[in-house]
């Protein structure tokens, strides 16, 4: 049709943070940070211990209220959302923790099944209380992380690397659109850290997830991130595509205090 041109729209940012400040009493843990994350982007947050990485991550899904500024995730205005809206948002935002947060006495498959609770109306108790389709899906999630053969083993009896794989399977079961990962490989030895990161990056790419992940391992960050964001004393001191950056550029994050 003449005269009618349809321009493909740029997809909106999945995460948009503007002037975010989070204080704990007199301490400014996150200081006037702005950040946009595009669909499917894998952003790694770097910075010294205490620089505000975990606090920023928790502000993204409303686990910490913000002191000032705006946080928008998947179109939800997190800074102003009532608790019910935040609960709805959290069903779409997976969280992977350093300490795995599995229930050690439950089997791997039952831990994975809990990832589906956000989309079920009633609580469930025991593997058999979930329908057959969900049980099949949970086993498929375990298969994707290479642990189908451990489905009925108690999660607490697995190694750290295996437990983090189960936690990733639980996140897949949640079918999130965004993944927040707080030092997901900090408790693992270097070899396991590499292979769990490898898995995390692969499944996130397969699912088209938008990811914000805090890491202490600079080499892993350089190897896997699309973009590196550095914090120092709560301020954003780096925000660059990872391609073309080297270790020395990244190490600057740990010294710089001037915001970008």
Does residue 212 interact with ligand ATP by CB under 6 A?
Answer: no
Taking the complex as a whole, the smallest distance from the CB of residue 32 to ligand ATP amounts, in Å, to 15
CA dist 53 → 22, 250, 254 (Å): 11, 15, 13
Residue from 33, 35, 46, 52 that binds ligand ATP (CB under 6 A)?
52
Taking the complex as a whole, the smallest distance from the CB of residue 182 to ligand ATP amounts, in Å, to 7
Residue from 37, 53, 170, 232 that binds ligand ATP (CB under 6 A)?
53
Taking the complex as a whole, the smallest distance from the CB of residue 58 to ligand ATP amounts, in Å, to 8
Does residue 76 interact with ligand ATP by CB under 6 A?
Answer: no
Please tell me the count of residues contacting ligand ATP according to CB under 6 A. Answer: 11
Does residue 29 interact with ligand ATP by CB under 6 A?
Answer: yes
Does residue 111 interact with ligand ATP by CB under 6 A?
Answer: no
Task: Select from 197, 123, 203, 129 the least CA-distant residue to 164.
Answer: 197
CA angle 184/20/246 to nearest 5° reads 50
Q: Which is nearer to ligand ATP, 49 or 133 (CB)?
A: 49
Which region, judged by CB under 6 A, interacts with ligand ATP, from 48-56, 76-84, 145-153, 217-225? Answer: 48-56
Which residues sit opposite 23 in a β-bridge?
28
Contacts of residue 124, defined as CB under 8 A and 6 or more positions apart, other chains included, come to 113, 117, 130
Residue from 20, 43, 55, 145 that binds ligand ATP (CB under 6 A)?
55
Does residue 99 interact with ligand ATP by CB under 6 A?
Answer: no
Taking the complex as a whole, the smallest distance from the CB of residue 97 to ligand ATP amounts, in Å, to 11
Does residue 107 interact with ligand ATP by CB under 6 A?
Answer: no
Taking the complex as a whole, the smallest distance from the CB of residue 136 to ligand ATP amounts, in Å, to 37
Residue from 5, 7, 49, 132 that binds ligand ATP (CB under 6 A)?
49
Does residue 47 interact with ligand ATP by CB under 6 A?
Answer: yes
Contacts of residue 217, defined as CB under 8 A and 6 or more positions apart, other chains included, come to 185, 193
Q: How many CA atoms lie within 13 A of 121 on its CB side?
A: 0
The residues in 6-25 that bind ligand ATP, with binding defined as CB under 6 A, are 24
Task: Select from 5, 82, 55, 35 the least CA-distant residue to 236.
Answer: 35
User: Are the CB atoms for 73 and 178 separated by under 8 Å?
Assistant: yes
Binding footprint of ligand ATP on the chain (CB under 6 A): 24, 27, 29, 47, 49-55
């Amino acid at each position: 049709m003449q005269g009618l041109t349809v321009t493909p729209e740029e997809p909106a940012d999945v995460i948009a943070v503007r002037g975010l400040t989070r204080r704990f009493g007199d301490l400014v843990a996150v200081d006037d940070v702005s950040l946009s994350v595009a669909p499917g982007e894998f952003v790694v947050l770097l910075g010294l211990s205490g620089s505000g990485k975990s606090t920023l991550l928790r502000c993204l899904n409303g686990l910490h209220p913000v002191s000032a500024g705006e946080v928008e995730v998947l179109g939800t205005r997190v800074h102003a959302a009532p608790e019910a809206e935040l609960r709805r948002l959290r069903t779409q935002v997976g969280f992977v923790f350093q300490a795995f947060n599995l229930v050690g006495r439950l089997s791997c498959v039952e831990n994975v099944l809990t990832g589906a609770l956000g989309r079920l109306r009633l609580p469930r108790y025991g593997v058999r209380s979930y329908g057959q389709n969900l049980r099949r899906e949970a086993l498929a999630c375990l298969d994707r992380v290479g642990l189908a053969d451990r489905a009925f083993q108690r999660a607490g009896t697995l190694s750290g690397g295996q437990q983090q794989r189960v936690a990733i399977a639980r996140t897949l079961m949640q079918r999130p659109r965004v993944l927040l990962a707080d030092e997901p490989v900090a408790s693992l030895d270097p070899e396991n850290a590499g292979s769990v990161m490898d898995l995390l990056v692969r499944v996130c790419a397969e699912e088209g997830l938008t990811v914000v992940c805090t890491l202490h391992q600079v080499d892993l960050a350089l190897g896997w991130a699309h973009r590196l964001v550095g914090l120092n004393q709560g301020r954003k001191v780096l925000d660059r595509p990872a391609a073309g950056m080297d270790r020395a550029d990244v190490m600057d994050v740990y010294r710089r205090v001037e915001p970008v």
